[in-house]
Chain A
Amino acid sequence: MMFDLDFSIIPANKELLWEGMKMTFLLTGLAIGGGIILGTFLALLRIAKVPVLQHVASAYVNFFRSLPLILVIFWLFFLVPLIVGRPVGAFSSVLVAFILFEAAYYSEIIRAGINSVRPGQLAAARAIGLTYGQAMRSVVLPQAFRAMTPILLTQAIILFQDTSLVYVVGLRDFLVSAEIVANRDQKLVEMFLFVAVVYFTFCFLASMGVRYLQRKIAT
């Protein structure tokens, strides 16, 4: 079996596979953007001096971190059309699921980043007359994001891998496109090996980049 692999199936289906890859990238990009925005908001709530807000934010984070991503995808796949009141595509509900889920993880990273900025910075910014909001936006957050860039990028690599789970609702990302080709042409071995090599190449190169960046920031 091992010696009659036929990889010509890959160039023959490159448009379909490329469409899938674009979907994977689109979903990853939007989920990172949305996850960081909602995550920052949650992190700010958690460090706010208002106990109620702190509890709400930390309950949100602990709740989502205790659930499997697949369950969250199923939940939103079921809920979003119900809330909107009409059928929506798998893409919108999956995107909402990823943003809500990833925000919990991003908020932990961002909170640690904010805590790594020395408290004197906030005090100094307030002393020269900035409001709390201004001090956060122009003094604390820029420094925090710089410090946590490598971890945010590592989380982005994990998210890129996690998007493969849209398989459970059949959204045509890279993996699902490859699986469609694999089943149609009975080439499971070739296609899944190809998928693994592609994911590995992207993630390995990206993680090397993150390590390089980490050394650069450290020095």
Chain B
Amino acid sequence: MNYNWDWGVLFRDPYLGWIISGLGWTLVISLLAWVIAFSLGSVLGIFRSSSSPVLRAIGTIYVEIFRNIPLLVQLFLWYFVFPELLPDDWSRWVKRDMPAPAMTTAIVAIGLYTASRVCEQVRSGIDAVGFDQRQAGRAIGLTEVQVYRYILLPNAYRIIIPPLTSEFLTIFKQSSLALTIGVVELTAMTRQIEEYTFQGFEAFTAATVVYSLVTFTVMAVMRQVDKRTALPGTFSKGAA
């Protein structure tokens, strides 16, 4: 292997700054997309477990559509196709006047996609709390909304902390897809360093270390959260 090592490149101007700003954008995309995924996914998960056939159908259709199209294709649909299908004024706004069009599109696309996965986790959490709890709640006179608010959801979320952690980490990794529509997040930044300096080994190592460190940190923190919030009498195995 013929290669000129130069680890110093990572700490030279402007490359160190690139890595830091790349990580910053990666975190911004991940956290905002997670807000969408978590809130919409929770609503859809409740829909899919509810007693209303209409709500259940809405949840099912959403999950099937968003789960069966590759995220990259969805990203292109939102970025290239969606604006064209809107009335002219709106289309102009989405393409030109919307703040940070590529970034916003990436956040929305990744958020909506992951909502379908969060939905399935929330639904399985609610299922895991059990049908008896639901019936017991109704028997003591709670409405269905109250049963969800006071019994099913507080228990379900505590059960699904490990799979939700995995879903968040999936978003964190998938935020790299934003580079395909021109968002310069962490992976794109290191690719750029490779192209400018030809020090691919150092550049990709930097990205690898940063992604791993964030992942392992999140897992360690969430394992503690999971332990603290574990339901009495259940096993809590920590993030997968």
Interface residues of A (CB under 8 A from B): 1-2, 63, 65-71, 74-75, 78-79, 82-83, 85, 161-162, 164-165, 167-168, 175, 179, 188-189, 192-193, 195-196, 199-200, 203-204, 207
| Residue in A66, A179, A199 with the greatest tally of chain B CB atoms within 10 Å | A66
B135 on the A face (CB < 8 A): no
User: Could you mark each residue 143-166 of chain B with 1 if its beta carbon is under 8 Å from any beta carbon of chain A, else 0?
Assistant: 000000000000000000000000
A selection of 11 A-B contacts at a CB cut-off of 8 Å is: A1-B85, A67-B208, A69-B173, A71-B187, A74-B190, A74-B204, A79-B200, A82-B3, A167-B180, A188-B80, A196-B77
- The listed residue (A69, A70, A74, A199) touching B73 by CB distance below 8 A is A199
Task: List which B209-235 residues lie within 8 A (CB) of chain A.
Answer: 211-212, 215-216
Query: Is B176's beta carbon under 8 Å from chain A?
Result: yes
Check A203–B80 contact: CB distance below 8 A: no
Q: Which residues of B contact A (CB under 8 A)?
A: 1-3, 64-65, 67-74, 76-77, 80-81, 84-85, 88, 91, 169, 173-177, 179-180, 187, 190-191, 194, 200-201, 204, 207-208, 211-212, 215-216
Asked, given contacts A161-B70, A196-B73, A199-B70, whether A66 binds B200 with beta carbons under 8 Å apart, the answer is no
Contact A70 B187 (CB under 8 A): yes
Q: Which residues in A have their C-beta under 8 angstroms from that of B177? A: 70, 165
| Complex-state Cα separation, A195 to B70, whole angstroms | 10
User: Which of the listed residues B73, B74, B84 has the most CB atoms from chain A within 10 Å of its own CB?
Assistant: B73
From DSSP, what is the main secondary structure of chain B's interface residues? helix
Partner of A192, one of B81, B200, B201: B81
Contact assessment for A200 and B65 in the assembled complex, using a CB-CB cutoff below 8 Å: yes
* Contact flag A78-B174 (CB < 8 Å), given A67-B212, A70-B179, A164-B72: no
User: Max chain B CB contacts within 10 Å: which of A74, A168, A179?
Assistant: A74
Q: Determine if A193 and B176 form an interchain contact, defined as CB atoms under 8 angstroms apart.
A: no
In the assembly, what is the distance between CA of A9 and CA of B65, in Å?
25
Give the residues in chain B near A168, CB-CB below 8 Å.
179-180
- Cβ of B68: which chain A residues have Cβ within 8 Å of it? 199-200, 203-204, 207
The smallest beta-carbon distance between B203 and chain A, in angstroms, is 9
Q: Which of A71, A162, A167, A179 contacts B204 (CB 8 A)?
A: A71
Enumerate the 8 nearest inter-chain pairs by beta-carbon distance, A residue then B residue, closest first: A66-B215, A203-B68, A161-B70, A68-B176, A68-B173, A78-B200, A164-B70, A70-B176
Max chain B C-beta neighbours (<10 A), residue from A68, A70, A162, A175 = A68
- A207 cross-chain contacts in B, Cβ below 8 A: 64, 67-68
Query: How far is A108 from B65 in the complex, measured between Cα atoms in Å?
Result: 27
Q: B73 touching A204 by the CB < 8 A rule?
A: no
Inter-chain pairs besides A71-B211, A164-B70, A199-B73, 6 sampled, C-beta below 8 Å = A1-B91, A66-B173, A66-B211, A67-B208, A79-B201, A203-B69
Chain A residues positioned under 8 Å from B207 (CB to CB): 71
CB distance from A167 to the nearest CB of B (A): 6
A200 and B64 alpha carbons, distance in the complex (Å): 9
**Known interface pairs A68-B174, A188-B81; A200-B69 also in contact (CB < 8 Å):** yes
Interface pair A164/B73, CB less than 8 Å apart: yes
Contacts of A75 in B (CB 8 A): 204, 208
- Tell me the nearest residue of chain B to A208, going by C-beta: B64
In the assembled complex, the Cα of A75 lies from the Cα of B204 at a distance in Å of 7
CB closest residue in chain A, given B68:
A203
A67 and B179 within 8 A (CB): no
